[in-house]
Chain A
Amino acid sequence: METPANSPVARPVVAAPRPLPVIVLADVSGSMTQHRKLETLNESIETMIRAFAAEDTARGEIQVAVVAFGGDRAVLHQPLVPATQLTWTDLEAGGRTPLGAALDLLTDLLEDEQTIPKRAFMPTLILVSDGKPNDSWEGSLDRLLASKRGKRAIRLAVGVGVDMEEEDFHVLECFIANPAIKPTPVDKVHRLSRYFSWVTLSVTQQARSGQQTSAEIGFDQLDEFLG
């Protein structure tokens, strides 16, 4: 035993919970303002963060970051912090769809051991977009998929709105880079909040169980959630 039988104990400590990063890549191009798409996305992310914050689990500490891409650049709209400490600020839209810039920013974030220590769980990455990128994104995606964390992260993608074309879904498929997982089309905008309810359940399951197997990720339940 660590402590001899008769020496008084100083102050026992417990290990900090293991971080479980959830990173949303949010398309904030001008078209997202139509059909309440951006409004619904903001509400969905905020609801998800509140559910994460209410989750008390010793195994994993859920942390959230949001990368916004619109105009001619991508910004870290919300740096990675524990959900319990996060006050959400709504995303605002405008301009084009610079996906490549968003992927670069994401890869840098994932590779930064100051932000995501090596003990962290594999991040869940969720790409939300309503159309095709208009910068050169292929090289940036290759870099993401070649990075240690980007390669092994749980990558999900959702296409919002009725204007999504086959080619746009192809981009989302390339991001997921896993034939077993399909991008989720969300034609009616209220289904976006259901999609995020499923993401919330999936992530809390991972945090509770402390493991990231397909059972915990729960793809088989996604259809139930989308209704």
Chain B
Amino acid sequence: MSNSLVVRDEYGRVLPLIRKIGSGGQAEVWASEGRIAVKRMHSHTPRTARRLRSRIDVVRRLDLDGVPVARPMDLLASPDTGYTMELLEEMVAIQRLAAPPSGADVLGWYAETGGLRRRLRLLARAADALASLHAKGVVYADPSPANIMVSASARHEEVRLVDVDLLHTESAPLEIGGTPGYAAPELRAERSGVTCSSDAYAFAVITFEVLSLLHPFLGEQVEDGEPEMLQLAYDAKLPWIDHTTDRSNRTPYGMPRTAVLAPDLITLARRTFQDTVNSPRSRPAVAEWRTALHAAADMTLTCVACPQAYHVRRDECPWCGTPAPDPLIAVVHFVLPGQDEPVSAREVLAVSPADELPIMPRTAYTDAAEYDPVPAAWVCWEEGRLLTVRAGRLPLWLTPDRDPANAVVVEASDQLTVPADGAAPGWTLHFGPPGEPRRLLRFFRVRREGR
């Protein structure tokens, strides 16, 4: 191993290694100059170099436009083996959200790191990224909580996949082993190489961990047992912790699943870890997780009394017990000109009082880029008083429900506050000019039953 703190890329450019930002079994990652990161493999044998070069050549030919991955740029020159990539500043691995620091107050830490809603949104975006790779026929190969990077600040929600030197179309058994705990049972049993289904298994484990702070197979008997039990758990040779009939691997640890997993997510977890655990072809795809995660994020409300968030369907906050107010629901419709009554609801969002709700481009526009991280609009509703709408990169239109012909424009990057003195705001938000085909948002107050 060379100790010099400088490497060269294949074009002879000198790259100082300024700060080590990570190290793993195969490689170290350093920050260099000019927003460049250097991934340097531990092994510099000709064989390693040859294999890496052919892998990177394949990855560079893949069409990754619009997919949020840290793309490999240039190979390192001999005697080093590795490559350069974009330096992800202000980002950390999603594993930071899956386990509290030792001794921390778990609930307080969960809220400080963005709570349930931010976790759902970050996971939804990671699912967007993986699902779009899969749509291009590309397997990510080793999804783990260490290679999904997310914004370090709880106020931001950027996502990037790293370690893309493993991107594959499909692999032979054993070629890529995956990360213990995330590798699908068929990879561990060497029955199969990596596939979109093995990616989906790993992503399901990551999702379950980030939301519930629990590995789906590490029940109490595993946690308290000898380390050999971990192998059984990772091989999925034990029932999962929330198995519907076999309760032998249950656990008292972690977040209660009914509080952090929307019904659709509970179903996907059960299908992945119970019904299809050994039948990868029937396993739910990442695209299914993505839909359920976006929907769950949209249906999450902030508690009026504590910093936590929960699913709009619950009658009270699962964390402090405060009764949930009658929720305000925003329904997304698509309308054609001359068609006053929108026909079908496309998507439903829950609006928390006095909390700014970002509306993402994929919700607002039919032609939005999948990963556009800049919201199309922010909506803030002060119950019985005001509705504030802030526009993203494009203008918005507001129409009073009593007088729909009388539209007001909110210019791009501008904001507008209108009176909203009823139980619901009484305004409709349009993502295109009235008179053109467009999506719009209508607000409804839902009365909870039994009050």
Q: A1-B242, A15-B218, A205-B25 are in contact. Are A210 and B180 (CB under 8 A)?
A: yes
A3 to B251, CA, bound (A): 12
- The listed residue (A8, A215, A220) touching B317 by CB distance below 8 A is A8
Please tell me the size bucket of the interface on B. 35 or more
Asked if A227 lies at the interface with its beta carbon under 8 angstroms from chain B, I say yes
The interface residues of chain B lying within 8 Å CB-to-CB of A224 are: 1, 42-44
Q: Tell yes or no: A52 within 8 A of B by CB.
A: no
Bound Cα distance from A194 to B225, whole angstroms: 35
A61 to B226, CA, bound (A): 15
Q: Which residues from chain B contact A225 at a C-beta distance below 8 Å?
A: 1, 42
Q: Once the chains bind, are B106 and A12 in contact (CB under 8 Å)? A: yes
Within the complex, the shortest CB–CB distance from B100 to chain A, in Å, comes to 6
Inter-chain contacts of A211 with B (CB < 8 A): 180, 227, 230-231, 234
Q: Give Cα distance in the complex from A208 to B147, angstroms.
A: 13
A177 proximal to B (CB < 8 A): no
B250: interface (CB < 8 Å): yes
Q: Which residues of B contact A9 (CB under 8 A)?
A: 107, 255-256, 259, 318-319
Let me know if B258 is at the binding interface, CB within 8 A. Answer: yes
Q: Given A201-B23, A209-B179, A211-B234: A5 and B250 within 8 A (CB)?
A: no
Given contacts A14-B99, A58-B99, A210-B230, 20 further A-B contacts (CB under 8 A): A1-B258, A2-B250, A2-B252, A3-B258, A6-B316, A8-B316, A9-B255, A11-B105, A11-B106, A11-B107, A14-B213, A58-B98, A118-B225, A119-B223, A205-B24, A205-B25, A208-B146, A210-B181, A211-B234, A220-B43
A: residues with CB less than 8 A from B are 1-3, 5-6, 8-9, 11-18, 56, 58-59, 61, 118-122, 194, 201, 204-205, 208-212, 215-216, 218, 220-221, 224-225, 227
A-B contact pairs, 28 of them (CB 8 A): A1-B256, A2-B252, A2-B257, A3-B259, A6-B316, A8-B319, A11-B105, A12-B253, A13-B253, A14-B106, A14-B254, A18-B223, A58-B95, A58-B98, A58-B99, A119-B224, A201-B23, A208-B146, A209-B179, A209-B181, A210-B180, A211-B227, A211-B231, A215-B25, A220-B43, A224-B1, A224-B43, A227-B1
Which residues on B are within 8 Å of A, measured CB to CB? 1, 23-25, 42-44, 95, 98-102, 105-107, 146, 177, 179-181, 213-214, 218, 223-227, 230-231, 234, 242, 250-259, 314-321
